[in-house]
Amino acid sequence: MPGQTTTGSLKQRGVRMTRQRQILLDLIDKSGKHLDAESLFHLAREKDPKLNRVTVYRTLKMLKMEGLVDELDLLHHGGDQHYYETRMKREHAHVVCLQCGKIEEYFGEPLAIIRKQVKETFGFEILLVRTEIGGYCPNCQMLRDQELREAAGQ
C-alpha cells in the first residue's frame, strides 16, 4: 500500500467521499500525530463547525472496517482512549514513553524478520502486525535518575 492514499483507496472501494470524511482523512493522514477520536472531533470542528461527534465516530468505524485505519491503544499511556493512524505507512512499531507519553515510530528490519518467523513457524497468513514497546525516553530516564539520587541523599 505504500505510495497510495487513503482517499484513493476509499474511492477504489466505492465509498463516497464527503467533505466531512475528507476533513477527517486529511487530519489522520497529515497531522503527523496519533490522534484520538475526541481530538479528531475538535480539530475537524475547526474546519467545519457543522460536523458532529457521531459522524466522526461513524467515519472512524468505517475506515477501520475498510482496513484503512488502525486503532491503537499505545499501551494506554493516556488512559483508555484509542488513537488512529492510516495503514498507508510501512509496517512499524510504536515506542511509547510510559512516563511522558512521547511516541516514536520504529521502522526496522527486525519487524520483517519477526513477521517471517511467525509465518514460517505457525503457518499464518499475516494480515496485520501491531507492535508496541514501552519504556522511558532519555529525558524521563534522566529525571528518574535525578529523583532517585535526591531520594537517596535525603
Report H helices in the chain.
6-12, 19-30, 37-47, 53-65, 109-122, 138-153
At 41-63, the pLDDT tens digits run 999 999 999 999 999 999 999 88
Compute the distance between CA of residue 42 and CA of residue 58 in angstroms, rounded to an integer: 15
Check whether residue 38 and residue 98 sit in a common domain: no
SS3 86: strand
In this structure, are residues 7 and 25 in contact, taking their beta carbons and an 8 Å threshold?
yes
In this structure, are residues 95 and 103 in contact, taking their beta carbons and an 8 Å threshold?
yes
Check whether residue 66 and residue 141 sit in a common domain: no
Check whether residue 81 and residue 94 sit in a common domain: no
Check whether residue 75 and residue 10 sit in a common domain: yes
At 4-28, the pLDDT tens digits run 566 666 777 777 778 888 898 889 8
Which residues constitute the domain of residue 62? 1-89
Check whether residue 4 and residue 36 sit in a common domain: yes
pTM of the entire structure?
0.72
Compute the distance between CA of residue 99 and CA of residue 141 in angstroms, rounded to an integer: 9
Domains contained in the chain, number: 2
Compute the distance between CA of residue 118 and CA of residue 112 in angstroms, rounded to an integer: 10
